Chains A and B, each alone.
Chain A
Amino acid sequence: MSKQINVALIGNPNTGKTSVFNALTGLNQKVGNYPGITVEKKEGICRLPRGVKAHIIDLPGTYSLNASSLDENVVIELLLNKNDKDFPDVAVVVSDVENLKRNLLLFTQIKDLEIPCILAINMADRMRYKGITLDIPHLEEQLNTKIALVSTRKNYGIDELKDLITNYKELSTAPCMNASAIDQDYFDSLQRAFPNQSLYKLWLVITQDVNFGKTDRNEIEAVADFKTKSKADLKRLQQKETIKRYQFINDTLKQGQTIDLTTAKDLRIKLDLILTHKVWGYVIFFLILLLIFQAIYDWSSIPMDFIDSTFASLSEWTKNALPEGTFTNLLSEGIIPGLGGIVIFIPQIAFLFLFISVLEESGYMSRVVFLMDRGMRRFGLSGKSVVPLISGTACAIPAIMATRNIENWKERLITILVTPFTTCSARLPVYLIIISLVIPDKRFFGLGYQAMTLMLLYLIGFGAALGSAMILNKILKIKSKTFFVVEMPNYKLPLLKNVVLTVIEKTKAFVFGAGKIILAISIILWFLASYGPGDEFNNAEDIVTTEFTDQKLSIEEFHEHVASQKLEHSFLGITGRAIEPAIRPLGYDWKIGIALVSSFAAREVFVGTLATIYSVGSDDEETIKNRMAGEVNPILGGPLFTFASGISLLLFYAFAMQCMSTLAIVQRETNSWKWPILQLVIMSAFAYIIALIAFQVLK
């Protein structure tokens, strides 16, 4: 039987920790949440020499073990709890060769917890460009550890790291620093009170509670109460600890590291001057956004058309190949079109994440955060709000969770409240299908109108977020201190493996997360559209025959009229007609009304719902787009999706809070129902008014 060991990957943000994780685990990884909290948990399996299997956990990035955010607290919680099933047999501390001094602070803290530690110095390929030389034997001796020089970019050092992990029992667990040196008297009394506990662990338990409120750890609960010093005194001791550690690190690096600036070739400063320039920085960012949206449209049209026609054929084939009956109809008219409505958007979503991932990997995203900070302040936000707002283009849920690193409560609350305005990937299917129906496929100086409309919708989303933030900043009377610190990582060529893994992971999350809801709703909608009460539904054939006795209908026309009669008087039709008066001024019919209601579960359900509604009773092999384009306005005649109704619908989705899960996460993050309810009411009312104005002006 093969043996399994727990390995924790720990490190500062931007040290390439996730690249090391990807190099060790490949595709054998999964993403989940830590129990009870919504911090992302990445874990994977790595096969080591001699049949040893390693369970690798990629812990959230942290600068030290003095946590100030929930993400950082996860690291300490794990390292302090030996009973945790994920407690590491060995910790791999990943550091960046260019920021070794700062990264070693965390390393020395973990080492002092007496956990076997390996120091993985990443980005070693950059040493040559930066004129850095390391004396590895000296560093290993001083830090009492084993060091692996790793470059995930050039793919070296990973095998050496695997060997070190396999032989982790040979690693010394001796601490780097004597904890008592922080304050001899205090630590002596602590040791006397808890003679069997590790001194540094005790110290962390006490200071963690100081930093982060009281935790509910039972094991050493008594220690948390061991506060013979005030909070301010304990904070001062923490600062003293940090100074002592840096003294030790400076002494270690004095001999262990040499930097020859004359041989360093650095483009970073020159690039920063341009990319964060107060004019050119914004121009470049705008051009990059334009390029992204143009590429999303141009590159994904071929696979999208292919997927669309494949699902239409599959639906037709199912209907012909399987025996007639309820289940066959459910498959061909409900499940397959509903699924088609989500799968079709995989290419565009994958391209969007491809670009976002490249921007993040290259280090450019941090420049955007820096660039935006000045502007954000005017709206009551901070530069750190840019990360949630940009993450919001993927999904508002992780974006709202990402607000946790905004220390100022008022700025955090405003960011939480306005983030749902940014265009999430769930809006993308709705936008894409409606744009393709109502915006001409023409170009202006090489730029497509459709791509520009999509970009405009993204800008409207950001604009709405900023505008509402400014209003909230004036309304909310919360006083709190604010500061902004952001790390500027070096520019790097994005690693293909990391980019591909991110695209796969995000696309998978989108398809499987939303896909299950869409499938379930498609099934229910099909039933509601295929059954109905009363004679109007049950005697549809007779009613159509009587109504059209004077006209000679072909068999096809007869079937179409029967299907239409049944749909109109089905449970779904009755519900839709009930809400139609409220949405008719916006240019929508009852079928769109049903799609609006069902998409409250998740916005992307909109397309699947319409695909299901338009498929019920239809015998034609048609793509979703063609079915929607062929819909006739029941009142005015002519196409249902006109420029006016299309723009109205786009604006409705741009502003409406159509997402149950986002409301749930806002409730969780604000610990109150007041904010999500206000968000729902205000956003929906605003969306309705704007959509109404748009339709009435444009019709």
Chain B
Amino acid sequence: MNDTIQNILAFLALGLALSFLVKKFFWKKSKKKRAFGDAHDCDNCH
């Protein structure tokens, strides 16, 4: 395995790591809106 391949593999790993973290913590998934689940939902019924 020469240096070029080693470098490519290493930086590929870096790219994957960065994209994983960005996706995990900063990527906003669009979620189906639900009307229930609001903080005070249960207050009215008890």
A and B assemble together = yes
State whether B38 touches A671 (Cβ < 8 A). Answer: yes
In whole angstroms, how far apart are the Cα atoms of A307 and B16 in the complex?
Answer: 27
In whole angstroms, how far apart are the Cα atoms of A215 and B17 in the complex?
Answer: 39
Q: Measured between C-beta atoms, what is the minimum distance from B17 to chain A in Å?
A: 4
State which residues 514-536 of A face B: CB under 8 Å: 516-517, 519-521, 523-524, 527
In whole angstroms, how far apart are the Cα atoms of A39 and B16 in the complex?
Answer: 30
State whether B46 touches A523 (Cβ < 8 A). Answer: no
In whole angstroms, how far apart are the Cα atoms of A596 and B42 in the complex?
Answer: 39
In whole angstroms, how far apart are the Cα atoms of A519 and B18 in the complex?
Answer: 11
CB contact under 8 A between A483 and B46, given known A524-B18, A601-B25: yes
Contacts of A73 on B, CB cut-off 8 Å? 36
| Complex interface bits, A199-233 against B, C-beta within 8 A gives 1, otherwise 0 | 00000000000111111100000000000000000
**What's the interface size class on B, roughly?**
20 to 34
State whether A330 touches B13 (Cβ < 8 A). Answer: yes
* Chain A at the B interface: SS class: helix
| Complex interface bits, B6-46 against A, C-beta within 8 A gives 1, otherwise 0 | 11011001101110110011000001111111111111111
Contacts of B24 on A, CB cut-off 8 Å? 516-517
Contacts of B25 on A, CB cut-off 8 Å? 601, 660
In whole angstroms, how far apart are the Cα atoms of A216 and B37 in the complex?
Answer: 12
> Is A554 part of the binding interface, using a Cβ–Cβ cutoff of 8 Å?
no
The residue that B7 contacts in the complex, of A215, A216, A325, A671, with Cβ under 8 A, is A325
CB contact under 8 A between A215 and B3, given known A36-B31, A521-B21, A527-B14: no
**What's the interface size class on A, roughly?**
35 or more
Interface centre among A214, A326, A524, A660 (most CB of B within 10 A): A326
State which residues 647-699 of A face B: CB under 8 Å: 660, 669-672
State whether B1 touches A323 (Cβ < 8 A). Answer: yes
Q: List 30 A-B contacts (CB under 8 A).
A: A35-B32, A37-B34, A37-B37, A68-B45, A70-B36, A70-B37, A73-B36, A212-B41, A213-B38, A215-B35, A323-B1, A325-B7, A326-B6, A326-B10, A327-B13, A328-B6, A409-B39, A409-B40, A516-B24, A517-B21, A519-B17, A520-B16, A520-B20, A523-B13, A523-B17, A524-B14, A601-B21, A670-B39, A671-B39, A672-B39
Nearest 8 CB-CB pairings of A with B: A325-B6, A520-B17, A523-B17, A327-B9, A327-B6, A326-B10, A36-B32, A327-B10
